[in-house]
Amino acid sequence: MNPGVRFDVVISGGRVLDGTGAPPFRADVAVAGDRIAAVGRLDGAQAETVIDATGRFVAPGFVDCHAHGDAAVFDPAVQRAALRQGVTTFVLGQDGLSFAPGSAATVAYAARYFAAVNGPLPGGAPQDGSLSGGAPQDGSLSVGQLLDGYDRAVALNTAYLLPHGTIRYDVMGPSSAPASAGDLAAMVRHVERGLSEGAAGLSSGLEYLPGRYASAEELAALCAPLGGLPYVTHMRAYGVRAGVGMAEVVDIARRSGAAVHVSHLHGPAGVLLPLVEEALGEGVDLTFDTYPYLRGNTILAMVVLPPSVPGAETDRALEMIASDGLDDWWPTLAGTWPRLTVSHAPGLEWAEGMTMVAAAERAGLEPAAFCRRLLTETRLEAGVVSARPDEGPEGEESVRRMLRHPSQTGGSDGIYVGGHPHPRGFGAFARFLGRHVRELGDWTWEQAAVHLAAHPARRFGLADRGLVRDGFAADVVVFDPDTVADLATYAAPRTLASGVDDVLVSGVRVLAGGELTGATPGRALRP
């Protein structure tokens, strides 16, 4: 190395996991501007900042393929939680519901219905239309405006999926009717415009509203313009009924030619893996994400209300909950109450972190009566962490089998709303490394870099991310393989992970010694 060469940052003495699947190798990594400038033995190189990575791995920044940080990413505490796991990019717009594109009424609907998942749209209302300054004065929001609001405003990169449910609501409102030819044409125009403004794919949430009302024909029509970017789906059915959901995924892929990515596909592996292999064998370009936990986290209304209750119409749904029309329904949930823990309950915060049964006892009510109170007083905004029936060794083995599949990518499904969220947003990627690599050997270290960085970067069209290679964007993580671990638990879900202390995003040090530097170089990534 020419001793006169000077870089902005040199990470010296570490072992590089370059994201190609190659074994770790000893090398220094030099950064100039927002790019990786050199990887190799750089003895004598000078830099404004030198990071000693002796005894640590140097890896490409991890891509969280499924994060509900649409609003929370502006919170420095959430940025720190992600960076402490090595996550440098959130893929947002998940489950078919987020803030754009749409009119004021659509933005308000998406914010209200998914408040327990995505949180509130931040900002006021100046005319520039950016989130950093607020939404446009008329209340509408485009994909381009949303992305502009993220760009260089946070410490993480963001990519955004066009949310099908938001688009459908903007065209058809809460209607359960099939889309007409005119409706389909209007929705396709939304997709085409969103892609031109930088969206990284299309998402659906087929157990949420109004996505639940869409047919495979409708979804295939919206997937047709994707041009290689993925259709990302929260399927219509999971678990032992996953065959129903996967059959629809394959049908949509055949009709549209789109690549598909299935969200949070965990188990049972004996059911799911044959379905994945069957789809791949039929030529479907399919990937999926998993998180390494057995419990879920979602809106209470989705878990406990029957399909006859129109959750997309809050006032009408609350009228039905208050009536005696559901009296025969509530007793069918007797086995559900012990599995639910309140995660988000605005106005009833004392219940957060308590099981539905314990909270009901404290309120002096039966669980069904307390659930009705919770739904009513929060106007359907309540959220819950839900335990799966197969929680235990069998469930964990399913998760392990799923994450070992070559089509798997990492996703936290992180939700940061409420006083007692699921720990996955604070520990999933550290758990992949600490438990599933170091302790269980489900991946090698080099495989982890592929599953968590290179593979998802390719899937979402992030062509210059996911590898430690000359000329690539300098999203770089330095972590200790001996100490990286998730520390968040169901009892203490906001506990930060350990073992990741230094992170660069676009060549700028955003985490130093485990603390935020205050820099906000995160880019809104447009494929």
Measure the CA–CA gap between 69 and 421, rounded to whole angstroms. 13
pLDDT at 2: 56
Residue 474 has which token pair?
A: 């300098």
pLDDT at 44: 85
Measure the CA–CA gap between 338 and 352, rounded to whole angstroms. 15
**Region 273-292 average pLDDT:** 97
Is the predicted pLDDT of residue 361 greater than 70, yes or no?
A: yes
Summarised one tens digit per residue, pLDDT across range 109-123 is 999 999 999 998 875
Mean pLDDT of the chain: 94
In this prediction, residue 394 has a pLDDT band, given cuts at 50, 70 and 90, of confident
Signed CA dihedral, 245, 248, 254, 256: sign only: negative
Specify the DSSP element, H or E, that contains 203.
Answer: strand 202-205
Q: From the CB of residue 323, how many other CB atoms can be counted at a distance below 10 Å?
A: 9
pLDDT at 240: 86
Residue 295 has which token pair?
A: 């419990």
β strands within 133-176, DSSP E: 157-160, 162-163
Measure the CA–CA gap between 46 and 3, rounded to whole angstroms. 7
pLDDT at 1: 52
Lowest mean pLDDT among 85-89, 284-288, 320-324, 522-526: 320-324
Instruction: Report the amino acid identity of residue 331.
Output: P
Would you mind telling me the total number of residues written for the chain in this entry?
Answer: 527
Is the predicted pLDDT of residue 136 greater than 60, yes or no?
A: no
DSSP class of 239: G
pLDDT at 390: 67
Summarised one tens digit per residue, pLDDT across range 327-356 is 999 999 999 999 999 999 999 999 999 999
Q: What percent of the chain has pLDDT over 70?
A: 96
Coil, strand or helix: which one is 456?
Answer: helix
Is residue 163 within 8 A of residue 110, CB to CB? The reply is: yes
What is the CATH class of 87-295+390-462? Answer: alpha beta
Tally of helices (H runs) and strands (E runs) in the chain = 17, 23
Cα-based distances in Å from 107 to 101, 110, 111, 114, 285: 8, 5, 6, 11, 32
Is the predicted pLDDT of residue 128 greater than 50, yes or no?
A: no
pLDDT at 4: 61
Measure the CA–CA gap between 64 and 86, rounded to whole angstroms. 10
In this prediction, residue 389 has a pLDDT band, given cuts at 50, 70 and 90, of confident
Is residue 477 within 8 A of residue 500, CB to CB? The reply is: yes
In this prediction, residue 439 has a pLDDT band, given cuts at 50, 70 and 90, of very high
Q: Which of these, 267, 230, 255, 214, lies nearest to 393 by C-alpha position?
A: 267
Summarised one tens digit per residue, pLDDT across range 177-218 is 999 999 999 999 999 999 999 999 999 999 999 999 999 999
**Region 484-489 average pLDDT:** 98
Is residue 81 within 8 A of residue 496, CB to CB? The reply is: yes
Specify the DSSP element, H or E, that contains 105.
Answer: helix 104-113
Is the predicted pLDDT of residue 129 greater than 90, yes or no?
A: no
Residue 180: Cβ-neighbour burial (10 angstroms; 0-12, 13-18, 19+): exposed
β strands within 349-394, DSSP E: 383-386
pLDDT at 312: 85
Domain with CATH 3.20.20.140 in the chain: 87-295+390-462
